[in-house]
Chains A and B, each alone.
Chain A
Amino acid sequence: MAKDIEISTSESKFILEALKQNYRLDNRTFDQFRDVKIQFGEELGDVLIEMGKTKVHCKISSSITEPYEDRPFEGLFFISTESSAMAGPQFENGNNTGEDEVLISRIIEKAVRRSGALDIEGLCIVAGRKCWAIRANVHFLDCDGGFVDASCIAVMCALLHYKKPDITVRGEKIIVHPVEEREPVPLGILHIPICVTFSFFNPMDMEENVKGESNSEIVIIDASLKEELLREGVLTVTLNKNREVVQVSKAGGLPMDALTLMECCHKAYSITETITNQILKEIKIDNEKRDKYSAILSSENARETS
């Protein structure tokens, strides 16, 4: 990131020295994920995620188009992650080939699209002719680190929140029913991937890292912007609640012991669980707010369901 923002030598020394003594600037412990605040907008599929000072907005839109020729039974799904100067001076308008922009968009792409989080076969209307195209527009508003984690949560929340208008197919004709006329239908979400990012720091010199046996590297979860600027290595693990690894990306950086990395994956799982539960809970609350009759019409039993 940070082509333009630089951190002064004394401040970077201070942060690193504090890390060596087990302190972080925002008083979190090393494996503490920031609290995630989820706000739903007025419209369906409009979500604002706040993690500390990081703010990411995601909005889903849909349209009916023609499917790809070689995939007649599948709908289209795009995720657009374009950054703008709003998030900070390090992001340039209209330039999305910067190293970090590419890595962010590729990781989200792999975590959400490639892993099949959205059931794209369910978007097919008439095979080979008509299908839904779903577009997730991710807007980076404010950057204080953890863009990947926040935008992954934002995209998944927005997809879960969104409902597309109901349709009727009569031969070649498709009737789209306005939202007022018929209850819109939610998208088919097959699993909820959650990204957790770890940052690595090397308190010793490079030789010790490569040859030494001590494995004394510092591992922290969910780095803030300043920590991100100083880190020497980064690992993003994407998991879902079914104990599946969806995506792991450690694109170079400080070499880390395989066992430490495995430990990171297990730590990430417990975070994944809490965040998934939080998302589902908030979606449910919002749904109930929108549909005042749901409680009366529900056939759900009164007993506790996990």
Chain B
Amino acid sequence: MSRLEVYSPEGLRMDGRRWNELRRFETSINTHSHASDGSSYLEQGNNKIITLVKGPTEPTLRSQLDQTKATLQITVNLTKFSKFERSKTTGSTKNERRILEIQTALVRTFEKNLMLNLYPRTIIDIEIHVLQQDGGVLGTLINGITLACIDAGIAMYDYISGVSIGLYDTTPLLDVNSLEEAAMSCVTLGVMGKSEKLSLLQVEDKLPLDRLENVLAIGIAGAHRIRDLMDEALRNHAQKRISNASNK
């Protein structure tokens, strides 16, 4: 990295945000009404993802059939053009360990949040396409799934909102982008609704133990803000749909 300052003495980050500011959070709901039962398009900063939820439907494979609850299946497609440099790996990235890890983490996060016991003997298939990635992708994926599942009308306990926080020296930076993510240690959180309960917590680089608490506090506050943004977007969308329906 050349002259770019991660965090200036004046308290500004590379993209002009302060330490506790989220990135732009824009979303549309029900973008693929013919292709799926619930869908969302989410832009969190420069992360752009499409999420499609199909189901609950009858499973195609016998092994996916569970007598007591619905089977949850999540596939993440990190497109090759999603980063500035085109991904060099030839063939599919489907079986890459990193992708498998993300998918497992997402399934285990939402398994406890969706009321799968209400849909026995079915499968819920979630497909995410990452069109562009710019840091904190896992958090964005969580938000995308939450929105799409609500749109699909699948019963769930609460919103789960995801966000990444970096630690620059002693300053926590909320909602990191890819430049910041590469320059410092980051923590990804998945927070249940307005509570302080963490459904997902991942730290991948070294971080002083005594700073962790501080970082978590900022992260939880940020995730609550994201929850409100998602809630607002969903309510606006619902309002529009109701008015469209009643005009006819």
Q: Which residues of A contact B (CB under 8 A)?
A: 97, 99, 102-103, 105-106, 109-110, 114-115, 206-207, 209-211, 232-233, 235, 239, 243-259, 261-262, 265-266, 269
CB distance from B112 to the nearest CB of A (A): 6
Q: How distant is the Cα of A209 from the Cα of B95 in the complex, in angstroms?
A: 34
Q: How distant is the Cα of A231 from the Cα of B67 in the complex, in angstroms?
A: 20
Number of B residues contacting the other chain (C-beta, 8 Å)? 42
Task: Find A248's partner among B192, B196, B201 (CB 8 Å cutoff).
Answer: B201
- List, in ascending order, chain A residues with CB within 8 A of B110's CB: 252
B106 touches A258 (CB 8 A): no
CB distance from A99 to the nearest CB of B (A): 5
Q: Say yes or no for B225: interface residue by CB 8 A criterion.
A: no
A-B contacts, 11 of them at CB < 8 A, read A102-B97, A106-B97, A233-B112, A235-B201, A245-B203, A245-B206, A250-B202, A253-B109, A257-B198, A262-B212, A265-B212
CB distance from B69 to the nearest CB of A (A): 12
Task: Find B196's partner among A105, A258, A266 (CB 8 Å cutoff).
Answer: A258
For A105, the closest partner residue in chain B by CB is: B97
A102 touches B209 (CB 8 A): no
Known: A250-B198, A253-B109. 10 other contacts (CB 8 A): A97-B100, A103-B101, A233-B112, A243-B208, A243-B209, A245-B209, A248-B202, A253-B112, A255-B112, A261-B216
Given the known inter-chain contacts A251-B104, A252-B107, A252-B112, please indicate yes or no for A257 contacting B207, CB distance below 8 A. no
For B217, the closest partner residue in chain A by CB is: A258
Within 8 A of A (CB), among B150-209: 157-158, 187, 190, 192-193, 195-209
Given the known inter-chain contacts A210-B158, A257-B196, please indicate yes or no for A114 contacting B100, CB distance below 8 A. no
- List, in ascending order, chain A residues with CB within 8 A of B10's CB: none
- List, in ascending order, chain B residues with CB within 8 A of A256's CB: 197-198
A258 touches B207 (CB 8 A): no
B208 touches A244 (CB 8 A): yes
Given the known inter-chain contacts A97-B100, A102-B104, A259-B196, please indicate yes or no for A252 contacting B206, CB distance below 8 A. no
Q: How distant is the Cα of A140 from the Cα of B109 in the complex, in angstroms?
A: 28
CB distance from A156 to the nearest CB of B (A): 16
B108 touches A252 (CB 8 A): yes
Q: How distant is the Cα of A236 from the Cα of B111 in the complex, in angstroms?
A: 19
